[in-house]
Amino acid sequence: MAPAGAIALISVGVIACVIAGFGLLRNDDVVPTVAFPSSAGPSTSIPSHAAASSAAVPSDAAPSAAPAQIVVSVVGLVRKPGLVRLAPRSRVADALSSAGGAREGADTTSLNLAQVLGDGDQVLVGYASKDGNASLRSAVVAAGVGRAGPSSPPTAGDAPESGTGTTGSGSASSTGGKVDLNTASAEQLDALPGVGPVTAKAIIDWRSQHGKFTSVDQLGEVDGIGPARLAKLRDLVTAG
């Protein structure tokens, strides 16, 4: 009986060890499977948050929209004078086209058709004489100070400087900073704003035919000088 009882106890112990070992092996399989998802959770939430934050930045830094159009005044010998609306950085040729084009006899050679225009600029289309010389030069008058383009006439501030010299005979051609209509040379008259070589010659021809200017208002009798141009020249010249 003793050996049989010992064998029974050993058998029970072996079975108990097998059951305990099986349980331990089963618990070891469960632990890793539970740990992996929990450790992967935080790592997936961080990139998504960062992506959302970075996606919000460009919307705050979006640039403001550029002006949709500019307004330019086109006057003179065009078919539809007035205000025209153009795309930004349009050129003189675009303004003339929007105004219906230049009329016959218009002076387009004095204009730089490729010049870029700004908002508020004015395109003045003058007229040309039959021989092709400009009797009233065309020009682009800029809206802002210091923005005058290459087709624009000299500013009023340049006139006194050009008229402070002397004529070929040595007599003074200016009085108090003004150009003397009776003694000024063709070059000095040409330097006045809105006066080109043709108009300067017309002033000298009038002076030769009538003796001398007794009043600045007599400039209105010179071919090519209208009321608008006379108003610009009134404070820059004198009839000494």
The tens digit of pLDDT for each residue in 181-220 reads 988 888 888 888 888 888 888 899 888 888 888 988 888 8
Q: Are residues 160 and 229 in the same domain?
A: yes
The tens digit of pLDDT for each residue in 148-174 reads 444 444 433 333 333 333 333 333 344
Asked if 98 contacts 123 with a C-beta cutoff of 8 angstroms, the reply is no
Please indicate, yes or no, if residue 198 is contained in any of the structural domains: yes
Of 141, 173, 194, the residue at which a domain comes to its end is 141
3-class secondary-structure state, position 134: strand
Domain with 210 in it? 156-238
Q: Are residues 160 and 136 in the same domain?
A: no
Q: What per-residue confidence (pLDDT) applies to 140?
A: 87
Q: What CATH number is attached to the domain comprising 131?
A: 3.10.20
Q: Are residues 191 and 123 in the same domain?
A: no
Of 141, 167, 199, the residue at which a domain comes to its end is 141
Q: Are residues 84 and 134 in the same domain?
A: yes
Please indicate, yes or no, if residue 78 is contained in any of the structural domains: yes
Q: Are residues 172 and 137 in the same domain?
A: no
Please indicate, yes or no, if residue 30 is contained in any of the structural domains: no
Q: Are residues 160 and 233 in the same domain?
A: yes
Q: Which residues, other chains included, contact 88 with Cβ-Cβ below 8 Å and sequence gap of 6+?
A: 66, 67, 68, 69, 70
Please indicate, yes or no, if residue 167 is contained in any of the structural domains: yes
Q: What per-residue confidence (pLDDT) applies to 116?
A: 93
Instruction: Quote the CA–CA distance of 188 and 204 in Å, as a whole number.
Output: 11
Q: Total domain count for the chain? A: 2
Q: What CATH number is attached to the domain comprising 170?
A: 1.10.150.320
Q: Are residues 232 and 161 in the same domain?
A: yes
Of 141, 172, 199, the residue at which a domain comes to its end is 141
Q: Which residues, other chains included, contact 203 with Cβ-Cβ below 8 Å and sequence gap of 6+?
A: 181, 189, 195, 219, 222, 225
For the ranges 99-103, 124-128, 131-135, the one whose mean pLDDT is highest? 99-103
Residue 20 pLDDT level (bands cut at 50, 70, 90): low
pTM of the predicted model as reported, rounded to 2 decimal places? 0.38
Asked if 106 contacts 130 with a C-beta cutoff of 8 angstroms, the reply is no
Please indicate, yes or no, if residue 165 is contained in any of the structural domains: yes
Please indicate, yes or no, if residue 94 is contained in any of the structural domains: yes
Please indicate, yes or no, if residue 208 is contained in any of the structural domains: yes
Please indicate, yes or no, if residue 212 is contained in any of the structural domains: yes
